[in-house]
Amino acid sequence: MNVIVNRRRFLRNAAFTAALFSTPGLFADQLTQTPRQTEGPFYPNHLPLDTDNDLLVINEGVTPAVGEVTYVSGRILDAKGDPIRGALVEIWQCDNNGAYLHTGTTNADKRDKNFQGFGRFITGSSGEYLFRTIKPVPYPGRSPHIHYKIKRAGKELLTTQCYIKGHQGNEKDGIWRSLKDEKQRSSVTVDFAPLKGAKAGELAAKFDVVLGVTPEA
Ligand SMILES: [Fe+2]
């Protein structure tokens, strides 16, 4: 009797498993939680006068920062893939000369005074964020990257970094390489591609962030 029951259960399970595998995209669609990456030593130790989402211009400045103009956007999602409203997205990165907005930065004497270096955006109900900034450049020891910090209701939810897909420096970057899982790597390594219809060669990059938590409302 037991044998028959077990055999039936096995068949049911086998049928279930086959159904999963024969449904294209079911696993591919599963969300990869964005991996945590080190904050590094250059989170600004003095904030710029302007902390909006346009890093190319400080306040009413006339001269824009030097670099390849890039629109970086994406969505902040919870573990179930639902958008997170009211998430504070902070980014920071070095300027086109490899200098951070930090007193300990290298190349301080070459720092681009017109680059904001840091920006903030608070998501609405769609979870979307947008920054105008420059395409990140390498500096000694690091492949190009943009630092991210996601906060909500005063709590830090995630600190990570975003990289350029296809950049040769990634394979040599110890922090990028510390991500051993292929899905995790690709979740933080995104295309910087020409923005459709852009007249001045602007680029666009899309970086969605999937948190491992569902924050309380
Ligand atoms: Fe960095």
Distance 181 CA to ligand 1 centre (A): 21
Please classify residue 146 by burial: count the beta carbons closer than 10 Å to its beta carbon, then call 0-12 exposed, 13-18 middle and 19+ buried.
buried
Distance 105 CA to ligand 1 centre (A): 10
Distance 63 CA to ligand 1 centre (A): 25
pLDDT digits (tens, 9 = 90+) for 111-164: 999 999 999 999 999 999 999 999 999 999 999 999 999 999 999 999 999 999
Distance 71 CA to ligand 1 centre (A): 19
Average pLDDT over residues 2-29: 46
Question: How many C-beta atoms lie closer than 10 Å to residue 206's C-beta?
Answer: 13
Distance 39 CA to ligand 1 centre (A): 8
Whether residue 27 contacts residue 178, with contact meaning beta carbons closer than 8 Å, is answered with no
Distance 100 CA to ligand 1 centre (A): 8
Predicted confidence band at 30 (pLDDT cuts at 50, 70, 90)? confident
Q: Picking from 76-80, 85-89, 116-120, 140-144, which range would have the lowest pLDDT averaged per residue? A: 76-80
pTM: 0.85
Distance 96 CA to ligand 1 centre (A): 13
Which residues have their alpha-adjacent CB atom under 5 A from ion ligand 1? 40
Distance 211 CA to ligand 1 centre (A): 21
Question: Is 90 exceeded by the pLDDT of residue 21?
Answer: no
Distance 144 CA to ligand 1 centre (A): 8
Helices (H), the chain: 2-22, 174-177, 182-187
Return the ∠ at Cα 141 (arms to 54 and 63), rounded to 5°.
Answer: 25
